Amino acid sequence: MSDALVIGAGPAGLMAAEALAAAGWRVVICEARPSPARKFLMAGKSGLNLTKDEPFDAFIQHYDADWLRPMLKAFGPTEVTDWARGLGQEVFCGSTGRVFPKAMKASPLLRAWLGRLGAAGVELRTRWRWAGFEGDRFAFDTPGGQQVLYPKVAVLALGGASWARLGSDAAWVPHLAEKGVTIAPFKPANMGFRVDWSPHMERHFGQPVKGTALIAGALVERGEFVLSARGIEGGGVYAVSRVVRDGAALTLDLLPDRSLEDLMTRLAKGRGKETVANWLRKALRLDPIRIALLQEWGRPLPQGEALARLIKALPVRHAGPRPMDEAISVAGGIARDALSDDLELNALPGVFAAGEMLDWEAPTGGYLLTACLATGWWAGTAAANTR
């Protein structure tokens, strides 16, 4: 018998294990994959965004679940920054308030974290895949055959339903559903959108689109995005993806710093013998990729005032979200009413849950990781207090 069991070795699970070990519990972490925190490492390849340095009232507005408030208050941006520094990782804050480790990658931080957990007596067992319950015990498929554990407390941190190849495959859903735990349906979050491009767009694939504003409902986002053979993706798109997924129309303001009146004046003379591309480049200083988007989604191009209005509100012709397994995160998971305020499962006393298993949603930019760490700490601390 282990004192405490944590299933899942991503950020939420490791943080839960840290909280339990700090309270004196003997902790075993079981991870289905050959190594821990694979999604965390992948996310950090292009720069590990730990959190966002901004006032708490602004920070919490980025979450769709207000019940996370006490958890994020207890373990928010300041605590995440201090935690990283405590692992010997110096951090810096970018111009947008995003906080990164100076090393930029996730691997140095993870190595230091695993070292600290090991020194605290936490045991990590890899290739141990949770196979469900045997009565009130936890069954695992392991390289040595099926094993059964009977912990005093358990924290589940098995991830959501995106990036299955890295471990977040939602295989845990039937195990909890059969115990009466309510699971909200999964939906992709922070995802790109499919676009059926014309052949002339191929030369722009892989290029960033800069200097635009993405408008969806009441949201206006000035972030960049990228064109790919599959569609549109990137930070600017992810920031508006939730409302677009849920039915809001998406438009582009190709020149957000120019007024409609200014554009009308600049376009009033017409293009004469110029090609459309040259005319727009000279009259408005539009770059080739924005001209290509205008021609792709605005054809046939109107003239005069109508063209100016199209430039300020170009409809994005997409074919819906990319598949859920390509999404950075998901909405859905264990429903709030299935949990106590301590993140204990009402149907399974002594079993807690954390991270992307829970039904909440937030944009990229440090918000996802902060909530995973915060809920892991909250669940681990609550589990430790059940003695």
pLDDT digits (tens, 9 = 90+) for 218-272: 999 999 999 999 999 999 999 999 999 999 999 999 999 999 999 999 998 888 8
- In the predicted structure, residue 1 carries a pLDDT above the cut 70: no
Is the separation of the CB atoms in 23 and 88 below 8 Å?
no
pTM over 0.85: yes
pLDDT-derived band at 2 (thresholds 50, 70, 90) equals: low
pLDDT of residue 321: 97
Which ranges in the chain belong to alpha helices (H)?
Answer: 11-22, 38-43, 56-59, 69-74, 77-86, 107-119, 173-177, 235-245, 260-267, 276-284, 288-298, 304-312, 367-384
Residue 210 exposure: Cα atoms within 13 Å on the Cβ side: 5
What is the three-class DSSP state of 255?
coil
pLDDT of residue 336: 98
- The helix (H) or strand (E) run that includes residue 311 is helix 304-312
- The helix (H) or strand (E) run that includes residue 14 is helix 11-22
pLDDT of residue 102: 94
Is the separation of the CB atoms in 202 and 229 below 8 Å?
yes
pLDDT of residue 81: 97
Domains and CATH numbers, the chain: 4-188+327-384 (3.50.50.60), 193-315 (no CATH)
pLDDT of residue 361: 96
Measure the CA dihedral 137/140/145/148, to 10°.
-20
Mean pLDDT of 48-61: 96
pLDDT of residue 45: 75
- In the predicted structure, residue 44 carries a pLDDT above the cut 80: no
Lowest mean pLDDT among 28-37, 42-51, 165-174, 315-324: 42-51
